[in-house]
Structure formats: structure tokens, C-alpha cells
Amino acid sequence: MAPRIHERTRDRVSAVQVLYTSELTGKSPSELLDCGLCLVAREAPADEAEAAEAGAFGRIEEGTLTDYALALIHGVEANQAQVDERIEAASENWALSRMPIVDRSILRLAVFEMFNCDDVPVSVSINEAVELAKGFGGEDDSPRFVNGVLGRIARSMDGAGAAVADATGSGSVAEGVAGPVNALVGASGAAACVQVGV
């Protein structure tokens, strides 16, 4: 049986999907949510027999966003200018506009969470973002890029240096904190956020 994905990991996946779709369509995340233009994937059944029983063809079903996912989406949208400033200051030789859209969406989510979600340690935000980049990143080196940018931001935060060292150990992201992100990918391997009626 496949390992279960932590609820907040699923929330982050859903939030990144909405932020990514927003960038692609040119519509605000709030507009996408208000108009129902984005379906949210649920975790796929563990095996083909369960999938057939559940009628989960393609392993993508419509679902609802949790309060945490909505808070992340609305928080990134409301604070995007400050979040983008922090990303640009920490990303050496990279303009925000040159970053792959999915990497930019992951970074925005993580930076918002690092500065605004007191119940989430900075190290967890970084690890979750790196895991998202492994599953959905726009380039082969997306996880390393995301880790580097977020590490620089974390070091610039008061007292966050120790949290980053704890999360990264000997310079690499801690393994095993989050479950596999790719469980929310459709059978074709495509990301599970589907545009509807666009």
C-alpha cells in the first residue's frame, strides 16, 4: 500500500496548482476559485482494484480545498509584492520573470508560509517546497534552485539559521519528512490541476 500523504502536503500541492493555473490563464487565484475554474485532485486509490471500485478513471476526481489551502492561496495573492521582493533579493542572477512558472509558484507559496504561518517551522516550509519541486519542478535542477533561494531567505530571517541547518543536515534537504508528492499526478503523468471551461 502506498504511503499516505500528510494533509498539509496535499494542501500545498493544491495551492501550487491554483497559483500555477493563475499564472497560465492570467486570472487571479481568487477569480479561479470563485468561478470554479480549477479542479482539485484527491489522493488516488492505492491499487487498480480500488480505483475500479471507486470509478476513479484517470485517478483525478473533483474535490474541495481545505481551509489551509485557501489560506495559502489567498495569502500569497494578498502579499505577492512583498513575497516577490524577497524572492528577487535572494535569487542571484535570476529575474522573477525568467524563472519557470511552477518554480515561481512553489517559491511564492514557501516564502509566504515561512513569514506568515507561525505554526509551520521554516525548515518544514523549505523541505515541502523542495519536495514540490522534485514532483512538479520546471527543470531538472528545480529542487536545488528552490532549496538555494529559500535557504538564502531563511538565513536572512532573524534566528532562522539554526532551523535551516536542522532541516538540511549536511547541506541536503532532510528526507522522509513529507510523503511523495507525485501521488497527486494523473495517470498520464500530468499535473492534477485541470482547467475547466476556459
Chain Cα centroid distance, residue 28: 17
Task: Supply the Cα-derived Rg of the chain in whole angstroms.
Answer: 17
CB 32 within 8 A of CB 193: no
Chunk the chain into consecutive blocks of 10 residues (it has 198) and report each block's average pLDDT, rounded to whole numbers. 70 94 92 74 52 41 78 96 96 90 96 96 96 88 95 82 44 33 31 33
pLDDT tens profile 70-83: 999 999 999 999 99
CB 146 within 8 A of CB 106: yes
Measured in Å, how far apart are the chain's first and last C-alpha atoms? 36
Total Cβ atoms within 10 A of residue 102: 24
pLDDT tens profile 164-196: 444 444 333 333 333 333 323 333 333 333 333
Q: 117 φ, ψ to 5°? A: -110, 90
Using DSSP, state whether 55 is helix, strand or coil.
coil
Find the helix packing angle between 101-116 and 7-25, rounded to 10°.
Answer: 130
Sign of CA dihedral 118, 123, 126, 128: negative
- Cβ-based neighbours of 86, under 8 Å, separated by 6 or more: 111, 115, 153
The Cα 132–Cα 140 span in angstroms is 13
Q: What is the pLDDT of residue 158?
A: 63
Residue with grid cell 512583498, as numbered in its chain: 82
Identify the CA nearest to 178 among candidates 57, 9, 12, 35: 9
Beta bridge partners of 195: 38
